[in-house]
């Protein structure tokens, strides 16, 4: 066996481990460096080193719903090779108590299990148990598909998602027959993004100073207003940024915002469009967060 062939075999084994998963809700005690590392856009995560010690963590975004639109929660999980599987486990497990209190919900049915994930040519094939297609009408089916597509495509090794149920490929999901006969991309489901879609920080994030605020928006003149407030709603920072495109197109935004020291352990990152008529906040998104450093 040539040295080049041996390297290819090792790379394939590592890639497979990065997307191996357990049933939703079960613990994955593997540790190591995720090979499916999220990009800075649309999301970001920690990047464990190859020599990390057990007990270190990895941060992923989990795409839930706020109303009928997508919203993110930020989960810090035990470091694992199966980072994509960990993100999917978190999605299947649904919002925790803190996230539910912040208004997050999910269309993914309780009891859904992830039976496997594989990736080839940046297309992830996710095999879900039959519970995934149970219950709900067309809106529920579409939002749960969007949740899976966005959760898996946060990783730069995945650009589209193909669906299997109980080990078999499917062309449609649910009684409403939502068509998924080709790999599903974010562009296919972006109608479920709110006008201002804050991907980072997600609900429950522990933010650094300055905090990185990023997402996508469809706003007038592409201008997005940013604030950081403490738990008493006192303003710690205020700023703005410009998305890559203005309405009616959807553009990306990313900005660092330094904020004043606070004794409050919790607060909010707030993003909105300012009304040209009266200066009021339009399409406001309020993300509850924790401050990394409290003074």
Residue 232 belongs to a domain with what CATH number? 2.60.40.2550
The percent of residues above 70 in pLDDT, for the chain, comes to 81
Give the domain extent around 170.
3-192
> Does 124 share its domain with 257?
no
> Does 178 share its domain with 266?
no
Tell me which of 14 and 89 has the higher pLDDT. 89
pLDDT digits (tens, 9 = 90+) for 205-242: 999 999 999 999 999 999 999 999 999 999 999 999 99
Average pLDDT over residues 182-211: 97
By three-state DSSP, how is residue 149 classified? helix
| Average pLDDT across the chain, whole number | 84
> Does 161 share its domain with 77?
yes
Q: Is pTM, for the whole model, over 0.85?
A: no
> Does 19 share its domain with 82?
yes
- pLDDT of 174 reads 85
> Does 88 share its domain with 207?
no
Average pLDDT over residues 51-71: 83
Tell me which of 31 and 168 has the higher pLDDT. 168
pLDDT digits (tens, 9 = 90+) for 141-182: 999 999 999 999 999 999 999 999 999 999 999 877 899 999
In whole angstroms, give the CA distance from residue 33 to residue 12.
Answer: 15
Tokens 């057990």 sit on residue:
54
Query: Across the strands, what pairs with 168?
Result: 165
201 in Cβ contact with 207 (< 8 Å):
yes
> Does 72 share its domain with 136?
yes
Count the Cβ atoms, other than its own, within 10 Å of residue 128: 27
- pLDDT of 295 reads 60
* Total domain count, the chain: 2
> Does 76 share its domain with 167?
yes
Q: Is the pLDDT of residue 50 over 90?
A: no
In whole angstroms, give the CA distance from residue 145 to residue 139.
Answer: 10
- Which of 150, 177, 192 is the endpoint of a domain? 192
- Which of 139, 163, 192 is the endpoint of a domain? 192
């Amino acid at each position: 066996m040539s040295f080049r062939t041996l390297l290819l075999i090792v790379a394939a084994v590592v890639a497979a481990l990065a997307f191996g998963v357990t049933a939703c809700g079960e613990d994955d005690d593997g540790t190591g460096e995720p090979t499916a590392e999220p990009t800075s856009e649309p999301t970001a995560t920690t990047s464990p080193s190859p020599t990390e010690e057990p007990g270190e963590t990895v941060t992923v975004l989990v795409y839930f719903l706020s109303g009928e639109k997508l919203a993110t929660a930020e989960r810090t999980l035990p470091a694992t090779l199966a980072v994509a599987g960990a993100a999917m486990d978190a999605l299947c497990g649904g919002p925790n108590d803190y996230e539910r209190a912040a208004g997050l919900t999910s269309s993914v049915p309780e009891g859904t299990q992830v039976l496997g994930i594989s990736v080839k040519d940046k297309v992830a094939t996710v095999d879900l148990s039959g519970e995934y297609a149970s219950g709900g009408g067309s809106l529920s089916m579409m939002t749960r598909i969007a949740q899976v597509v966005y959760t898996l495509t946060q990783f730069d090794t995945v650009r589209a998602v193909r669906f299997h149920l109980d080990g078999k490929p499917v062309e449609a999901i649910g009684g409403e027959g939502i068509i998924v006969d080709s790999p599903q991309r974010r562009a296919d489901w972006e109608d479920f993004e709110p006008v201002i879609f804050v991907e980072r920080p997600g609900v429950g994030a522990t933010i650094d100073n300055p905090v990185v605020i990023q997402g996508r928006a469809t706003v007038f003149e592409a201008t997005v207003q940013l604030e950081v407030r403490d738990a008493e709603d006192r303003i710690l920072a205020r700023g703005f940024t410009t998305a890559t495109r203005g309405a009616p197109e959807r553009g990306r935004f990313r900005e660092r915002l330094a904020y004043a020291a606070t004794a409050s352990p919790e607060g909010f990152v707030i993003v909105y469009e300012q009304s040209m008529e009266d200066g009021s906040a339009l399409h406001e998104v309020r993300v509850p967060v924790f401050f990394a450093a409290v003074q």
